[in-house]
Amino acid sequence: MATTDVVIAGSGPTGLMLAAELRLAGVRVSLVDGLPARTGESRAGGIHARTMEILDQRGILNRLLPQGRQMQAGHFGGLALNFADFDTDHPYLLAVLQSIMERELEGRADELGVNTQWSSPVTGFRQDEAGIEVEIGGVRPRTIRAAYLVGCDGGRSAVRKLAGIDFVGTDTTATGMIADVELADPPAQPFFARRGAAGDYSVIGFEPDWYRLVVQRHDLVLPRGAELSFEDFRANFLELAGTDYGMHSPRWVTHYGDAARQAVHYRAGRVFLAGDAAHIHFPAGGQGQNLGIQDAVNLGWKLAAAVNRTAPETLLDTYESERHPIAARVLRNTRAQTALMRPGTHADALRDVMSDLIELPEVRHRLGLMITALDIDYDTKCDHPLAGRRMPDAALITTTCVTRFFQLCRRAHPILLLLDGTPAPVLPTGFEHIDVVSAVTPATAWAIPGAGRIPTPAAVLVRPDGYVAWATGEPGADGLAEALTTWFGATA
Ligand X SMILES: Cc1cc2nc3c(=O)[nH]c(=O)nc-3n(C[C@H](O)[C@H](O)[C@H](O)COP(=O)(O)OP(=O)(O)OC[C@H]3O[C@@H](n4cnc5c(N)ncnc54)[C@H](O)[C@@H]3O)c2cc1C
Are 304 and 21 within 8 A, CB to CB? yes
Binding of ligand X by 388 (CB under 6 A): no
Angle between helices 288-308 and 49-57 (to 10 degrees): 40
Neighbours of 385 (CB within 10 A): 17
Q: To the nearest whole angstrom, how small is the minimum distance from the Cβ of residue 293 to ligand X? A: 8
Binding of ligand X by 153 (CB under 6 A): yes
Q: Which is nearer to ligand X, 78 or 283 (CB)?
A: 283
Binding of ligand X by 78 (CB under 6 A): no
What single DSSP character describes residue 423? P
Q: Which is nearer to ligand X, 98 or 127 (CB)?
A: 98
Choosing from 78, 91, 199, 275, the residue that interacts with ligand X (CB under 6 A) is 275
Neighbours of 443 (CB within 10 A): 14
Longest pairwise C-alpha distance within the chain: 71
- CA distance linking residue 197 with residue 175, whole number of Å: 14
Stretch that binds ligand X, among 37-45, 82-90, 443-451, 477-485 (CB under 6 A): 37-45
Single-letter amino acid, residue 411: R
Element (H, E) at 65: none
Q: Which is nearer to ligand X, 32 or 480 (CB)?
A: 32
Q: Which is nearer to ligand X, 123 or 491 (CB)?
A: 123
Binding of ligand X by 77 (CB under 6 A): no
Binding of ligand X by 138 (CB under 6 A): no
Are 472 and 459 within 8 A, CB to CB? yes
CA-derived radius of gyration, the chain: 23
Choosing from 68, 77, 78, 121, the residue that interacts with ligand X (CB under 6 A) is 121
Q: Which is nearer to ligand X, 31 or 484 (CB)?
A: 31
Tell how far CA 247 is from the center of its chain.
33
Buried b / exposed e along 157-185 (16+ C-beta atoms within 10 A): bbbbebbebebebeebbbbbbbbbbebee
Binding of ligand X by 150 (CB under 6 A): no
Stretch that binds ligand X, among 44-52, 203-211, 428-436, 447-455 (CB under 6 A): 44-52
Q: Could you tell me which residues are beta bridge partners of residue 470?
A: 461
Are 116 and 33 within 8 A, CB to CB? yes
Binding of ligand X by 257 (CB under 6 A): no
Residues 6+ apart with CB under 8 A from 6: 22, 27, 28, 29, 30, 146, 147, 148, 149, 150, 303, 307
Binding of ligand X by 286 (CB under 6 A): yes
Choosing from 24, 152, 416, 459, the residue that interacts with ligand X (CB under 6 A) is 152
Q: To the nearest whole angstrom, how small is the minimum distance from the Cβ of residue 462 to ligand X? A: 25
The contact pattern for ligand X, residues 217-256, with x = CB under 6 A and - = no contact, is ---------------------------------------x
Neighbours of 278 (CB within 10 A): 28
DSSP string covering 169-200: EE----EEEEEEEEESS--SSSEEEEE-SSEE
Choosing from 5, 6, 7, 14, the residue that interacts with ligand X (CB under 6 A) is 14
Stretch that binds ligand X, among 153-161, 163-171, 185-193, 429-437 (CB under 6 A): 153-161
Choosing from 56, 276, 320, 393, the residue that interacts with ligand X (CB under 6 A) is 276
Reference 288, options 48, 11, 31; nearest CA is 48
Binding of ligand X by 122 (CB under 6 A): yes
Stretch that binds ligand X, among 10-18, 58-66, 185-193, 351-359 (CB under 6 A): 10-18
Q: To the nearest whole angstrom, how small is the minimum distance from the Cβ of residue 307 to ligand X? A: 21
Q: Calculate ∠ Cα 314-320-323, nearest 5°.
A: 130
Stretch that binds ligand X, among 29-37, 84-92, 163-171, 237-245 (CB under 6 A): 29-37
Binding of ligand X by 43 (CB under 6 A): yes
Stretch that binds ligand X, among 43-51, 373-381, 420-428, 471-479 (CB under 6 A): 43-51
Binding of ligand X by 45 (CB under 6 A): yes
> Which spans of this chain sit near ligand X (rule: CB under 6 A)?
9-15, 32-35, 43-46, 98, 121-122, 152-154, 158, 176, 178, 256, 275-276, 283, 286-290, 292
